[in-house]
Chains A and B, each alone.
Chain A
Amino acid sequence: MGFQLGNVVLTYPNGQRALSRITLGAGRGERVAVIGPSGAGKTSLLRLLGAALRPDDGSIEVLGQGPWRLSARALRRLRSRIGVVYQKPPLPGRQRAITAILAGRLGSWPWWKAIGSLVYPADIAGAEAQLARLDLADRLFERCDRLSGGQLQRVGVARVLYQQPDLILADEPVSAMDPTLSNLTLGQLVDDATARSATLIASLHAVDLALRWFPRIVGLKAGEVVFDLPPVRITEALLRDLYAAETSVPPTQAPEPLALPARGPRNVAACKPQ
């Protein structure tokens, strides 16, 4: 019931290959972290699973349905069961956090409820409860353009928690947060997925976070799966190999604020006793 990809190929409009012959699956309630250097295809993989991109070749099944074989109405229903956490949540600056969070249920609410909610928020308690899990309840009525990058990411997470999707796709969900908040946020995503038996797939740049919160780690490199292992079997050599190309990346690319790949192996050792 999670997802199943078979020999999936995805090519960008410019002809560059994003994913080549990926075969990957996860069952209901499984938690998978996708790691790999930038440009490995992590975001493309998640957009594919979110039925936002159509594969050029291969088979795809999400929550037991092939999205591109569905009617428009059924595809909408399927999409409303998928929640996506974006690295930079695209929320209108003038929108308040509460509206942004309640928008998580636009796919399931009747239209009159959604319109009415713009006049007076339909579920203040519900939105506040999700924001409180992420330690941000005091910003419920704040405009999104008054929030910092990390706060905005937490509003994006709260929206997906409020949506209660069967499949959660998180694309670098904590890249703008400090380690404490990163762990809090990932912990809440994991708790929510576990409590509702939802499938959780997260791409993470910080290897230590992946190893700590996920029982299954997929290494992605140049559009291919190079390993798919539980954390205990991830070795320093595997990680060094995975990030080998990262050193040749031009230094103009902004570095992620958290755990650089070079630190990965040390964190492996730190995590092993767990």
Chain B
Amino acid sequence: MQASIVVTTANAHRFDPAARSRATAFVVALLVLWPLLVWSQFHPALLFETRNLAAIAQFLGGFLPPDMSVEFLRHVMRSTIETVAIATAGMSLAFLIAVPLTVANTRALSIARIGPGPGWRMSRVLHVISRGLLVSLRGMPELVWALVFVRALGLGPAAGVLALAITYGGMLAKVYAEILESADTEAARVLLQAGSGRTLALVYGLLPVAASEIVSYTVYRWECALRASVVMGFVGAGGLGQLMDQSMKMMNGAEAATILVVFLLLVLVADAVSAALRRGLA
């Protein structure tokens, strides 16, 4: 028995003890991913067959040149404002939903974990419940919520705002909680140990450490909300999406191209805002 222990420790010094588990993980990943590619009918060679290339070229050719007529641009302008409004209003509501859920959810602010102290079991139960709530909020795609709300509220932006608020609220809370947990939580723990409450430990101890991560994720989500609002527009939730849906249905590629250019500009703006905010918080 003792001899075998000696041998193992000697081996552990000669070989990297982590090598075997790493190799196993690599092989397992390959074994899982390969069948997934097969099932998803992924045949990249098809893309380059002349027949298919011609079809793509014909489709994209219809997009050029973009439609720059004043009348259409006026439509685009109005829809752009609507899209930005949907995304921003949806994100603001999502943020309001996410903040209390984050404070309730993140382990970085758990007072009962110190010790562990009184109410430890209760806090575990609440943690599981709030995690479940987050999953149910973000589990359903926003498109489905949009369909539901379009039925309830009729065609228009309000349905998109509500759909975004619900799914993005769940996503924001989950990722915020995880950003806070992976930040340096020492400063917040020390405050909790000096009798501070969760929210105050968050704003005095955790936000100063994690603010730039939080901001960059929030702005990125706003960018995603812009894209999502377009997709929801296709089911009647207003904005650029609804306009694009009309253009596509009328096979008007030029109009679609204009809308895509506007889209690119919006994403560029989001990127610039994010960079500026992060610089300010550095």
Contact = CB atoms under 8 A, between A and B. Distances in A.
A242 B61 CA distance: 86
From B119, B191, B194, B203, name the one whose CB has the most chain A CB atoms within 10 angstroms. Answer: B194
Contact of B204 (A50, A71, A84, A114): A114
A54 B118 CA distance: 11
A68 B194 contact: no
Contacts of A54: 115-117
Contacts of B81: none
B208 A94 contact: yes
Chain B interface mostly helix, strand, loop or mixed? helix
Contacts of B119: 72
B272 interface: no
Interface residues of B, number: 29
Most buried by B among A90, A92, A108: A92
Which range holds the interface residue count of chain A?
A: 35 or more
Given A72-B111, A92-B208, A103 B195 contact: no
A71 B122 CA distance: 13
Interface in B107-150: 111-112, 114-119
Nearest to B190: A90
A107 B196 contact: yes
Nearest to A96: B208
A83 B194 contact: yes
Contacts of A81: 195
Interface in B186-206: 186-187, 189-191, 193-197, 199-201, 203-205
User: Lowest 5 A-B CB distances belong to which pairs?
Assistant: A80-B195, A107-B195, A92-B208, A106-B196, A90-B186
Given A79-B195, A91-B187, A111-B199, 13 more contacts: A51-B115, A52-B115, A72-B118, A77-B195, A79-B193, A80-B195, A81-B195, A90-B184, A94-B209, A94-B281, A106-B196, A111-B197, A118-B203
